[in-house]
């Protein structure tokens, strides 16, 4: 009993599959072949030449974008080099100012010793400065 019901079910399923298969093949059309053979050659050639022109313009756009990228890279390198040079110049000026400050400090120290004398000196004539000698006079 179960075997008969199962066979009926599969036979019905097979018949439906065959009907769908027939409907599909009678309604299916090969659209691309139909469009290819119905389009005039003149239109196809025009479309092909237009696509080549678009390809060339895309290649030109790509090349100009690459050139612009290279130019921007050069500009960025130049800007970075200029910034590094400015920093080097500022560091050099800072070093020169520090050297000048050291020289000024030495001059001030010598002037102080000249005016007030050097109390750490072993020579007694160097212990007395100009300020002390003017007071003695």
**Which domain, by its residues, includes 95?**
39-136
State pTM to two decimals: 0.41
Residue 16 maps to a domain = no
Q: Which residues of the chain have pLDDT under 50?
A: none
Residues 65-97, buried b or exposed e (16+ Cβ, 10 A)?
eeeeeeeeeeeeeeeeeeeeeeeeeeeeeeeee
Residue 120 DSSP label: T
* Residue 113 CB contacts under 8 Å (≥ 6 apart), including other chains: 129
In this structure, is residue 27 part of a structural domain? no
Quick one: pLDDT at residue 34? 53
Give domain status of residue 58, yes or no: yes
Q: Domain tally for the chain?
A: 1
Domain for residue 20, yes or no? no
Q: Tell me, what's the pLDDT at 116?
A: 79
Give domain status of residue 115, yes or no.
yes
């Amino acid at each position: 009993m179960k075997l008969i019901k199962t066979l009926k079910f599969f036979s019905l399923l097979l018949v439906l599959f065959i009907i769908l298969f027939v409907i599909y093949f009678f309604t299916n059309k090969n659209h691309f072949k139909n469009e290819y053979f119905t389009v005039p050659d003149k239109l196809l050639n025009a479309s092909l030449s237009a696509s080549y022109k678009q390809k060339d313009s895309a290649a030109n756009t790509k090349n100009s974008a690459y050139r612009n990228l290279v130019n921007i890279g050069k500009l960025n390198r130049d800007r970075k080099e200029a910034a590094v040079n400015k920093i080097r110049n500022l560091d050099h000026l800072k070093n020169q100012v520090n050297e000048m400050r050291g020289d000024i400090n030495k001059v001030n120290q010598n002037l102080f010793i000249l005016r007030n004398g050097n109390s750490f000196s072993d020579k007694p004539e160097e212990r007395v400065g100009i300020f002390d000698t003017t007071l003695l006079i």
